C-alpha cells in the first residue's frame, strides 16, 4: 500500500514558521521595543508578549515540519488559531471605526496558509481526526 506524500504540507508548515518569525521580529523590535509602529496603539509589554508567542509558534512549525505525520495535531491547532485570528482581524477592520486597515495583508497570508494546510493535509491522506485529535502513542516494553 502506497502512502500519500505530506511534503507539501510540511513545506507549507515550515514556510508559515518563517512568516511567524517575521511577525515575531516585528512585534518584538518594531512595535514593542522600537515603537516605530503604533497604530493601533499597543502597550510595549503586550507587543513583546505577542512576539514571544510568535517565536513559540514558529519553533513549533519548524520542528513539526520534519515529522509532519506524527505532529499533524499541531497543524490542526494552527488551523484553529489562524481561522480565529483572520476572523477577528477582519471583524475589527470592518466593524470598529478608525481601526487601521494596514493589517489586511496579514489576514490574506494567514488565510492562505490555513487553506493550504487543509488542502495539503487532505491530499496527503490525513483525516480530520488526525488534525484535531492527538493520536495515542503505544509504547512497547
For 113-140, how does the pLDDT look when each residue is reduced to its tens digit (9 = 90+)?
A: 999 999 999 999 999 999 998 777 666 6
**For 54-77, how does the pLDDT look when each residue is reduced to its tens digit (9 = 90+)?**
999 999 999 999 999 999 999 999
Predicted pLDDT at 37: 65
The answer to whether the beta carbons of residues 107 and 86 sit under 8 Å apart is yes
The answer to whether the beta carbons of residues 5 and 121 sit under 8 Å apart is no
pLDDT confidence tier of residue 14, bands split at 50, 70 and 90: very high
**For 97-117, how does the pLDDT look when each residue is reduced to its tens digit (9 = 90+)?**
888 888 889 999 999 999 999
| DSSP classification of residue 33 | I
pTM of the model: 0.84
The answer to whether the beta carbons of residues 42 and 30 sit under 8 Å apart is no
The answer to whether the beta carbons of residues 82 and 118 sit under 8 Å apart is no
What own/partner pairs with CB < 8 Å and gap ≥ 24 does 123-128 have? 123/4, 123/8, 124/4, 124/5, 124/6, 124/8, 124/9, 125/3, 125/4, 125/6, 126/6, 126/9, 126/69, 126/72, 126/75
Predicted pLDDT at 65: 96
Q: Which of 27-31, 38-42, 55-59, 97-101 shows the lowest mean pLDDT across its residues?
A: 38-42
The answer to whether the beta carbons of residues 49 and 68 sit under 8 Å apart is no
Predicted pLDDT at 1: 44
Spatial CA neighbour of 57 closest among 113, 136, 112: 113
Amino acid at each position: 500500500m502506497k502512502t500519500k506524500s505530506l511534503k507539501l504540507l510540511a513545506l507549507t508548515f515550515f514556510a508559515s514558521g518563517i512568516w511567524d518569525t517575521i511577525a515575531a521580529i516585528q512585534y518584538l523590535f518594531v512595535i514593542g521595543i522600537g515603537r516605530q509602529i503604533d497604530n493601533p496603539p499597543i502597550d510595549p509589554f503586550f507587543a513583546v508578549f505577542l512576539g514571544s508567542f510568535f517565536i513559540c509558534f514558529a519553533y513549533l512549525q519548524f520542528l513539526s515540519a520534519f515529522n509532519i505525520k506524527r505532529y499533524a495535531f499541531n497543524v490542526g491547532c494552527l488551523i484553529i488559531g489562524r481561522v480565529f485570528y483572520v476572523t477577528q482581524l477582519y471583524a475589527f477592520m470592518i466593524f470598529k471605526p478608525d481601526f487601521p486597515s494596514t493589517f489586511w495583508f496579514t489576514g490574506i497570508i494567514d488565510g492562505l496558509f490555513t487553506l493550504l494546510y487543509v488542502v495539503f493535509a487532505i491530499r496527503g491522506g490525513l483525516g480530520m481526526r488526525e488534525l484535531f485529535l492527538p493520536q495515542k502513542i503505544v509504547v512497547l516494553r
